[in-house]
Amino acid sequence: MRGFAVFSALVLVACAPAPEPVTGSLPLFGDGYRFKGDICRRVGEDDFTNQFLDDAADLVACPEDAENLGVFVIDTGAQEVARRDGYVLYSVPIR
């Protein structure tokens, strides 16, 4: 009986739409920050990120190993606020 339940669950999962790519537990969204295809992305609200959200700034996550993070910081005025799941979280003032 247990095998049937597992089989049934697998069939249901196979029919479900493909999930968003797994990026850890951060609620990332958009096609890139500043430009489509950029490796940095906006971050939505959850129990961890809500402490960093600000009406006057975007919360942005960039991979820790991304090249040119220093340039990103200088170009945007970003300030690092946290690190999580392989990402650096920045508060970027809205201009």
The predicted structure's pLDDT at residue 32: 95
Spatial separation of the C-alpha atoms in residues 90 and 64, rounded to whole Å: 11
Domain assignment of residue 6, yes or no: no
Q: Look at residue 57 and tell me whether its pLDDT is greater than 50.
A: yes
Domain assignment of residue 15, yes or no: no
The predicted structure's pLDDT at residue 22: 42
Domain assignment of residue 33, yes or no: yes
Domain assignment of residue 4, yes or no: no
Q: Which domain holds residue 45?
A: 21-93
How many other β-carbons are positioned within 10 Å of the β-carbon of residue 39? Answer: 15
Domain assignment of residue 65, yes or no: yes
Banded pLDDT at 1 (limits 50, 70, 90):
low
Q: Look at residue 5 and tell me whether its pLDDT is greater than 70.
A: no
Q: Match 């990402």 to its residue by tokens.
A: 87
Domain assignment of residue 7, yes or no: no
pTM: 0.74
Which CA distances in Å does 69 have to 39, 48, 90? 11, 23, 11
Find the radius of gyration of the CA atoms of the chain: 18
Spatial separation of the C-alpha atoms in residues 45 and 53, rounded to whole Å: 7
Q: How many domains does the chain have?
A: 1
State what percent of residues in the chain have pLDDT above 90.
Answer: 73
Q: 89 — phi, psi (to 5°)?
A: -95, 130
